[in-house]
Chain A
Amino acid sequence: GAGVSQSPSNKVTEKGKDVELRCDPISGHTALYWYRQSLGQGLEFLIYFQGNSAPDKSGLPSDRFSAERTGGSVSTLTIQRTQQEDSAVYLCASSFQGLANQETQYFGPGTRLLVL
């Protein structure tokens, strides 16, 4: 079946502009995650959505970052007034949180953001 998809695959923007990154999770997956990965670095947790619960926004680096998940499916990560340090790969993942809350995360290919 279809995996996690993200769009755009690449985004070049000018400093100060707003950008929107989209994630389409696997159908039926209840949990959705956003991560940021700088070049050669690990995965920096940004935000986590689980069902109808309030999202865990503890990883968002500043108030310029926000995310929403509409209808429990598609998610959009918005970065306002982009800065050069926002340049990174933004990864989305989804999982089906069963009773054990231990399920595998399935990652999308990422959106490569470059802020000039």
Chain B
Amino acid sequence: GENVEQHPSTLSVQEGDSAVIKCTYSDSASNYFPWYKQELGKGPQLIIDIRSNVGEKKDQRIAVTLNKTAKHFSLHITETQPEDSAVYFCAASSNTNAGKSTFGDGTTLTVKP
């Protein structure tokens, strides 16, 4: 089955700096890669996703890049703000797995004011 590895497990940055979280996956059939943000005491919420037919997607301060050859994808947050502090999860899914996503273990991002 699919295996998703996420790094780093914790990340601390100064407000205004950029943050990058990386994930690798094992199943070459995976073709949908969402990123979720989980704030304390809440369920994860989708912040951005990318499908396998594109290499990059951007939404204001966040962007995701995908390298299908290397089987890795990354989340980039620019101009970080304290409210970006949360746990971030990457995930991967494929049509062959009936849409069930495999999640990474999460990255705890702390943005210091």
Contacts and interface: CB of A to CB of B under 8 A. Distances in A.
Contact of A104 (B31, B46, B105): B46
B96 to A, nearest CB: 9
A101 B105 contact: no
Interface residues of B, number: 25
Interface string B22-47: 00000000011010100001111110
Interface residues of A, number: 26
Which of A41, A48, A104, A109 has the most CB atoms of chain B within a 10 A radius of its CB?
A: A104
Given A42-B105, A56-B100, A108 B43 contact: yes
Contacts of B51: 102
Interface of B: 31-32, 34, 36, 41-46, 49, 51, 89, 93-95, 98-106
Given A104-B49, A107-B45, A45 B100 contact: yes
B112 to A, nearest CB: 20
A45 B40 CA distance: 20
Contact of A103 (B43, B99, B103, B105): B99
Contact of A43 (B34, B46, B103): B103
Interface of A: 4, 31, 33, 41-43, 45, 48, 50, 53, 56, 91, 93, 95, 97, 100-110
Nearest to A95: B99
A114 B89 CA distance: 24
Classify the interface of chain A: helix, strand, loop or mixed.
loop
B55 to A, nearest CB: 17
B93 to A, nearest CB: 6
A93 B36 CA distance: 12
Contact of B99 (A41, A50, A107): A50
Contacts of B89: 42-43
A108 B93 CA distance: 20
A33 B103 CA distance: 13
B98 A101 contact: yes
